[in-house]
Structure 1
């Protein structure tokens, strides 16, 4: 086998040995296009093609293409039970902490919870008037949190298929959010250039963190200096004390969750 990196092989053919085969996958002939239909070649004088696909190890772009194809096939096969249930693009997926449920959200505003062991649909959760941007699970149970393009955040109990709370206050699409690891607080970020910190039980908006330079001069309690463009992502420290946010103006800020201060 040619060794990747040899100068003479950088732009030449890639030769692979039988030892490089990772796994043979048998493919049903009926699932493959007829070679004659695709290439228009005369098949009478050719040998019957091998009906298996070989996957090889290596580091060249040609070999990487084989691995990419294999990954695509696996993703399609593993997702077949879920694909047919939506009329619109699936935008987000998340496993529950115990791995028993999978939540999927899409741009028609629906959340569906799936039983992972059986692959069956457990429940469909409705409410948001816009597409689902993200879904998250409570660290201690089967509570689902989702942010929507309609500027709202929703929470459901997936075990009982019941609505629990709706968090309203953002002025634009809610692009990111999560429970704190202790499960006691929710943090959400939006294209309205704000981070909001919520009490999940009462729905109270505890803190609003945003850029309000003029208002802060006269009303320091309204908010804290912050980003200047919409938030794109956030993550929360393992001790549930800090929320780190990133956004479109290429900046990152650390926010104290208890005080709301940057």
Structure 2
């Protein structure tokens, strides 16, 4: 049991090598834990609001955190220092995800947009508009060519990251889409919703392949 936060913990993420765990909390901090010892390695302070989402870069050298202070912070995991504060969203940052090569970061917000950032320059590359509700989840495809986003408008969108254009809007859920994940080869996308279903979509055709309901 990892103790240290003084309020609700919203989000957790393992580093790629599994040696560290990051956690984001209502106490406005991100904490990094050593998974071998269970000890806290660092407390990352800077956000002025709840930390709702955390994600490690593919090489583990950076950590991104999204907050209800409307910002995304990128931290150096070796020094525990802030590398960049990304500003642009006008609402809570509910989800963050690095591209497979670490060159880009996606963030989803309750301002109904997805932003793609260049992690080298800390500049916005694109703002993706189309959702009519909060963007609760984002995920890059394994080759980085596509980005999926799930929303409380009950839809999943697939975006082309080169053109920043929508490739498909996937409809079928009757509740908020809380999570999205690509298959290892990128041919399928899974989405989880508060309609109690998981749906699997063909990313080429945009068609639903299967759905399952556990409750």
Aligned pair 1:129/2:33, yes or no?
A: no
Q: Post-superposition shift, 1:150?
A: 0.9
Alignment RMSD (CA, Å): 0.9
- Would you tell me which structure has more strand in proportion to its own residues? 2
> Distance between the aligned counterparts of 2:61 and 2:99, measured in 1?
15
Structure 2 residue aligned with 1:227, among 118, 128, 131? 131
Counterpart of 1:105 (choices 4, 8, 24) is: 24
| Partner Cα distance (1:248, 1:161) in 2 | 33
Aligned to 1:139: 58
Per the TM alignment, residue 141 of structure 1 is displaced from its structure 2 partner at its CA by 2.2
Structure 2 counterpart of 1:13: none
Question: Mind listing any 5+ residue stretches in structure 1 that lack a counterpart?
Answer: 1-78, 211-225
Structure possessing the higher radius of gyration over alpha carbons: 1
Aligned residue in 1 for 2:163: 259
Aligned-partner Cα distance in 2 for 1:99–1:88: 25
> Structure 2-normalised TM-score?
0.75
What residue number does 2:185 align with? Answer: none
Question: Which of the two has greater helix per residue?
Answer: 1
* Correspondence for 2:127: 208
1:142 positional shift: 2.9
The one of 44, 55, 76 aligned to 1:157? 76
Please state if 1:91 is matched with 2:13: no
Stretches of 4+ aligned residues off by more than 6 angstroms? none
* Alignment partner, residue 34 of structure 2: 115
Equivalences, count: 166
Q: TM-score scaled to structure 1, two decimals?
A: 0.62
